[in-house]
Structure 1
């Protein structure tokens, strides 16, 4: 049975439509991320799941039951917010155990549950501290502990790491993933950070203008983006799309862009107007053969070097393992992996398989 199912959910605020006809089924124990830029509708969707917003149209199902009219408490979900939402005058222990106290649980039971959760999050030595005495990462762990202690059926995370620095975000990602692997609680995570989504999710729903553009595993989203938008949103450095016309020669297909022909493996009829996209890691520099280009920018980032190339019809990025010594203005050539080239219908923006 699906733990959560959204059936044609829409949400309007006056004349503004935040979500349009969103449908999504999430299996029990699955970790799904709603990914997209600001204003795409991902947080509104999460708020409707939590019961903080009512859908204008459509149904929300949880464990086979329609919950549109149920309060957040009745839905048995726990939400972790971006700003932690801790009570500043309460200790860590009281913050974690507050919802249990409000439910009327006896003190001994609360203490036992709080201590168990604190131990799992490495907070046992901080139970008597106030939030002001904690780092950002520690405060976020307390917020997670407050959600965890309730033993909910569903966890909802609303950009919980956006206020943390880069190294701490990576640490918290690992902690969330380990926590999910250990508990197996159905989880929905909202973020605008593609790397974050790719690293922790079973599946990703990429949202754009209030709709789900594509739902799939991280590998599917990256390797077979369903639309032009998904292709350009996922990946760093980003993919560059080159417009052209499909031509055939010697039993092979090419995108003709200017005087250059870019090979591809997808099945597309000759004469079709397309855009081809080449992931940076599938571009190889060559001194003797391939398409001529000029090096414009070289960016070493540790395990790889990002090189920006300028060629006949625009800009192209390539990622090369290790450190590469190239000076801006250097003339070079590049080759691409035709089997990895993505081809999109220029008018519709959809992927050809």
Structure 2
């Protein structure tokens, strides 16, 4: 198992800087995800680790060794791309074993390794087929097999499931996670899909405009987002963030939004009266009840296990996630209850968590 460390790594293309002083300490055997929207620098960061792009500044260490000047082959990394890049004129067996053949490994050893790996990927019955005869998921498994067969120190994934349909993406997530558990190879995964990142990662680096906004476990990222961007990017449905103003009364702290003042669990020493903030609460922490803030239903979105309800109130708009199907309709009056401990608050100017 091999660790990966990025120390103040930056990348410029001409005058445009796409990555800014990225610091990541990835433990040996860890599965981490670079998560963010298009253009945030996640693929560029992955390419710098792979050696496909040179960093403008900073150091990249693999296994404690600085690798900035080493080629991808010398770094001993394997990469799976968004497009499978399989050789159409080669069979599944030939595609998987190609990198070993290029390294002049004995044919008998190649056959043995390919057979063993194909069995673990459930491809052993497809070894004589060509890529055009395979489904999208099967082609992706061949691409993974080709990367795995030479037993690299680091495994890199660049949005490998983007071309698959929704149900197949879920299946491939499970297979990749299972492979990681079996082989315990340090892995870096790139995706824009926050549900994908949450489901397979040991830790997640949320990136925005070429910077790492937060690096932590899925639980930390979700329950205690470090910035306004992380809070709004993680979670489905998305958290609604509202403008508020801190008030104090009788030793208690409140955030005023519109015509309502909501209690918060942060004491006056942390929040001073008059401070402008943005605040929100995740949908599963908004409850429908007989007391609380009065509002009216704007939209209902039943999804089976739950119904997402958009509610307009005097404090602003909230989304409640209610188990099962809800027997209300747009325009109905409802009350919502919000616990102070579940409020997420961010400084209005800096966007940092309060």
- What pairs with 1:167-186 in structure 2 (closer than 5 Å)? 167-186=167-186
| 1:282 is the counterpart of 2:277 | no
The whole-number CA distance in structure 2 between the counterparts of 1:271 and 1:13 is: 43
C-alpha displacement at 1:340, in angstroms?
A: 1.1
Q: Deviations over 1:51-82 (max 9, x none)?
A: 10000111110001111111111100000000
Looking at structure 2, the residues matched to 31 and 153 of structure 1 have their Cα atoms a distance apart, in angstroms, of 13
RMSD of equivalent CA atoms: 1.1
Alignment-derived partner of residue 154 in structure 1? 154
Matches within 5 A, 1:111-260: 111-260=111-260
Residues 1:341 and 2:343 are matched in the alignment:
yes
Could you list the runs of 5+ residues in structure 1 that have no partner in the other structure?
none
Equivalent position of 1:24 in the other structure: 24
Q: Which residue of 2 aligns with 1:14?
A: 14
Unmatched 5+ stretches in structure 2:
none
> Which sits farther off after the overlay, 36-45 or 272-281?
272-281
**Deviation for aligned residue 1:25:** 0.7
Secondary structure, aligned partner of 2:104: coil
Provide the C-alpha distance between the structure 2 equivalents of 1:16 and 1:166, rounded to a whole number of angstroms. 35
Aligned pairs for 1:292-303 (under 5 A) are: 292-303=294-305
Return closer, same or farther for 1:315/1:262 CA change in 2, 3 Å cut-off: same
**Whole-angstrom distance in 2 between the partners of 1:315 and 1:12:** 41
Which residue of structure 1 aligns with residue 332 of structure 2? 330
Larger deviation, residues 336-345 vs 305-314: 305-314
Inter-partner Cα distance in structure 2 for 1:310 and 1:214: 31
Distance 2:166 2:8 in 1: 36
Cα pair 2:2 2:29 within 8 Å, conserved? no
Query: Residue 2 of structure 2 contacts residue 154 of structure 2 at CA under 8 Å; is this kept in 1?
Result: no
| SS of the residue 2:60 aligns to | strand
Q: Normalising by the residue count of structure 1, what TM-score does the alignment of the two structures yield?
A: 0.97
SS of aligned partner of 2:21: strand
TM superposition shift of 1:312: 2.1
- Secondary structure of 2:254's aligned partner: strand
